[in-house]
Amino acid sequence: MEPDPKSGYVLSSLAEVVERILGFLPTKALLRAACVCQLWRECSRRILRTQQGITWVSALEPDPSNSHVLVHVLAEDIEKVQVLPQTVLYMISDAETFSENREISGNSLKKARRRYSKEIASALEKLLPARCQVLGLATPGVVVTPKGSGSHRPLEVEEGEAGFALLFPKIDGVKIQTFHFFKDPKSQGIDEGQFAEAGLKNNPDLRAVLLFGYNSWKTGSPRFFRQIVNRLNEKSIILAGGYVDSITSLTCHTQPAESCGVVSLAFSGAQIQCASVLLDQDVTDEKLAEAAMRRLKAANIPERHSLAFMFACVGRGRQHYQNKVNLEADTFRKFFPAVPLFGFFGHGEIGCDRIVTGNFVLRECREAKDNLLHSYTTVVMLLHFGSAKGNQA
């Protein structure tokens, strides 16, 4: 049967029809379709500009291979997503898992762990666009919302192999930047030029900064971390994060293997609204956790096209709440039924009660700068990106 010449005319001439059809394609297939002809290329570009919803990939079941489960899941799901990621934040737990025939200890174990993390990072980065900013972290545990819907129950994975990858597209009016400061033994201070380059200085649109310290056991690490935090401790900026085991990916920088430092994502944009709350060590039951979530709810941050982050001490979770599993994540879901929640269990937390919505700021942290740094606490942060085109988180 010969092809219908009318269908050929439609697919090569009618942009509205072509755009409607191409809009059903995953992004990788859409990019391939853009190579067919000029009309398809123009339609593909218009579609990509509308795909500003934040997407995520989550991995919760151990992988039978020697690689991390997130590598396997991302390899499958990246073919299906309808977003072209510009920035990716991923976190993996149990990154030190080895196959049974690896019997190593001492310094050899440290080297093997570092090499294994690099193998995971390399495998993940190969799956992502070449120009994509990638920040990857290894943590003792993760907080992850299963893929598919922001209304799924978020899970606190305190042990075992799990991970997630947040895929941020280009969002109108929002700028996301990675930055990295590592401690230079030859210098006592921090280069002001680096702060300006990262958009952390003289930037009136800076709204939120996720901060992650690594190699906290190194001499001088707490002091260096405090210096970074204190410079950013302004009432118009939400700070949240904590100490992680290690960084596995940071595509725009390199650092000495044994250095200590801080990596981060900075979110700028006049349309961004955000708030954070601190659950201190006295929050020991569901009733007190609900009181903290009510404070976050009272900030009236829009919940559509929003994400939430939870950074908790490894000493909290089930152990802290008398064997009640998933208490803080479930309490968050009770007050925010459709906002996806992500984060980690780490070795120290950053944050306080603070709200930033445009020019309105409520409750600056107390004057003592160290009040942003905590232990045995949980920090929950809600981040709204403004109205978005296309699919939304």
**In the chain, count of helices (H) and strands (E)?**
10, 19
- Per-residue pLDDT in tens (0 to 9) along the chain, 393 residues: 455 555 554 556 677 888 888 888 888 888 888 888 888 888 888 888 887 889 999 998 776 666 789 999 999 999 998 888 999 999 998 755 433 334 444 444 454 455 567 788 889 999 998 889 999 999 999 999 998 888 899 999 998 899 999 999 999 999 999 988 887 766 666 777 777 777 788 888 999 999 999 887 777 788 888 888 888 888 789 999 999 988 888 764 555 556 788 999 999 999 999 999 999 999 999 999 999 999 999 999 999 999 999 999 999 999 999 999 999 999 999 999 999 999 999 999 999 888 877 544 555 455 444 478 889 999 999 999 987 555 445
What single-letter DSSP state applies at residue 279? E
User: 233: closest CA among 332, 116, 348, 354?
Assistant: 354
> Does the global pTM surpass 0.95?
no
Asked whether the beta carbons of 163 and 59 are under 8 A apart, the reply is: yes
Q: How far apart are CA 103 and CA 116, in angstroms?
A: 14
Instruction: Say how far residue 64 (Cα) sits from the centre of its chain.
Output: 26
Q: Provide Rg for the chain, Cα atoms.
A: 22
Buried/exposed 11-33: b ≥16 CB within 10 Å, e otherwise: beeeeeebbeebbeeebeebeeb
Asked whether the beta carbons of 178 and 268 are under 8 A apart, the reply is: no
Q: What does the DSSP assignment read for 35-62?
A: TS-HHHHHHHHHHHHH----EEEEE-S-
Q: How far apart are CA 136 and CA 141, in angstroms?
A: 14
In degrees and rounded to multiples of 5, residue 39 shows phi and psi of -60, -45
Q: How far apart are CA 275 and CA 273, in angstroms?
A: 7
Buried/exposed 104-141: b ≥16 CB within 10 Å, e otherwise: eeeeeeeeebbebbebbbebbbebbbeebbbbbbbbbb
Question: ∠329-331-336 over CA atoms, to 5°?
Answer: 90
